[in-house]
Amino acid sequence: MKTIGVLTSGGDAPGMNAAIRAVVRTSVFYSKRAVGIYRGYDGLIGGETNELNAKSVKNILEMGGTILQSARSDAFRTPEGREKAALTMKSQGIDGLVVIGGNGTFTGAHLLHEEHAIPVVGIPGTIDNDLFGTDMTIGYDTACNTVMECIDKIRDTANSHNRLFFVEVMGRDAGFIALHTGLATGALEVILPERNTTLEDVFASIERGQSNQKTSNIIVVAEGNKIGSTFSIADAVKQRFPEADTKVTILGHLQRGGSPSCADRINASQLGVAAVEALLNGKTDVMMGMVTGKITQTFFQQAIFNKAPLDMELVRMARILSI
Ligand code: F6P
Q: What is the CATH number of the domain that holds 218?
A: 3.40.50.460
Shared domain for 230 and 292, answered yes or no, is no
pLDDT digit string, tens, across residues 294-304: 999 999 999 99
Mean pLDDT of all residues belonging to the chain:
97
Q: What is the pLDDT of residue 161?
A: 95
What DSSP state is assigned to residue 281?
T
Average confidence (pLDDT) over 139-163? 97
pLDDT digit string, tens, across residues 189-229: 999 999 999 999 999 999 999 999 998 899 999 999 999 99
Q: What number of other Cβ atoms are within 10 A of residue 308's Cβ?
A: 18
| pTM listed for this prediction | 0.97
For residue 119, give its domain range: 3-139+260-305
| DSSP codes of every residue in 207-228 | HHHHHTT-S-EEEEEETT-SS-
Average confidence (pLDDT) over 255-280? 98
> 105: left (phi > 0), else alpha (psi -120 to 50), else beta?
alpha
Q: What is the pLDDT of residue 307?
A: 87
Average confidence (pLDDT) over 140-157? 98
Shared domain for 74 and 157, answered yes or no, is no
How many domains is the chain partitioned into structurally? 2
12 lines ligand 1 (CB under 6 A): no
**Probe target for ligand 1 pocket from 16, 39, 107, 128, with the most ligand atoms within 8 Å of CB:** 128
Query: Residue 317: inside a domain, yes or no?
Result: no
The alpha carbon of 270 is separated from its chain's Cα centroid by a whole number of angstroms, namely: 17
171 lines ligand 1 (CB under 6 A): yes
